[in-house]
Structure 1
Amino acid sequence: MLKFVVPLTAALALAAAPAQAQDAAAGKRAFLKCVACHSIAKGAPNKIGPNLFGVAGRKAGTAPGFRYSAAMKAKGAAIVWNPATLDKWLARPSAVIPGTSMAFGGVPNAAERAAIIAYLKKPMP
């Protein structure tokens, strides 16, 4: 039985890779609604919102050189941006951190949020 488990696991992982790449491509398109306020390239300046390069795995409210709201400063350090927290944030930022200065109502579509998260997790040049 074990002989079949390892190849099956490897096959499933390989099958997921194109889906993740597709999600990141869809996320890049969906992220276009974010570019007015956020940059994502390494070393790019902050805009109205912080640069999101390397946001996945980072503590909230810690982008270098960005001036965060009092609400984000107070609560942000307790949040690490992972897929679950990013999903909640993208769904409705003010529900995650009431008083945030991010004036964005959210992304209601779960598939679109997942695609944006896949894009944010993708290594950027």
Structure 2
Amino acid sequence: MSDAAVVCSHLSFAWPDDTPVFDDLSFTVATGRTGLVAPNGSGKSTLLKLIAGELKPAVASVAVGGTLGYLPQTLPLTGDPTVAEVIRAQLLRRPDVLLLDEPTNNLDLAGVGQLESALTETGAPAV
């Protein structure tokens, strides 16, 4: 994969009711910071879930260069952990590729500060 952080080839995915989301999508993301911008409902979160392995594509080859970290749009808060503790627990592995799905969507100003601090402390690159 050389300088590629993520390579997707011929990615196809449809919801259980056969509504297509992607059909034969191929792309490469180089190392470094990359942003994905598209309208709401266009499949950004679905794409990240496919790369992270949370969803299985109908057809595809997905390759990630190294250890993958994934912070979903809705934080998996169960029990008593703080936002900072949840964030630091994905980043402690020091991932080579970090997928952030609108990480500040549901955070207040203090939570955004904790996220920024955790990212700075770990030095994790974001895709």
Identify the TM-score tier after normalising by the shorter chain: under 0.3
Which of the two has greater helix per residue? Answer: 1
Which fold has the larger relative contact order, with Cα–Cα distance below 8 Å and residues 6 or more apart in sequence? 1
Which of the two has greater strand per residue? Answer: 2
Instruction: Give the structure-1-normalised TM-score.
Output: 0.26
Larger of the two Rg values belongs to structure: 1
Instruction: Give the structure-2-normalised TM-score.
Output: 0.26
